[in-house]
Amino acid sequence: MSDAPETSADAPSEAPVTAADPLEDYAISLADRLGAMGHVVEFGTVRILVDADRWVETIVEANKDLPFFSWLSAIDWSKDVEVGDGVDDPESLDERFEVICRLSSVENADGAHFVATLPRENPTIASLTPHIGGAAWHEREAHEMFGIMFDGNDHLVPLYLPDDFQGNPLLKSYPLISREVKPWPGDVDVEGMPEVDPDGDDETADGGGGT
What does the pLDDT profile of the chain (211 residues) look like in tens digits?
445 544 445 555 565 555 579 999 999 999 999 999 999 999 999 999 999 999 999 999 999 999 999 999 999 998 888 766 677 777 888 999 999 999 999 999 999 999 999 999 999 999 999 999 999 999 999 999 999 999 999 999 999 999 889 999 999 888 866 555 555 555 556 667 777 766 765 555 454 444 4
| pLDDT at position 205 | 47
What's the whole-model pTM score? 0.74
CA distance 38 to 48: 6
Residue 170: its H or E element: none
- Distances in whole angstroms, Cα of residue 100 to Cα of each of 34, 52, 62, 69: 16, 11, 14, 12
Task: List domains and CATH numbers for the chain.
Answer: 22-181 (3.30.460.80)
CB of 110 closer than 8 Å to CB of 46: no
Residue 26: its H or E element: helix 22-34
Query: What are 125's strand-pairing partners?
Result: 150
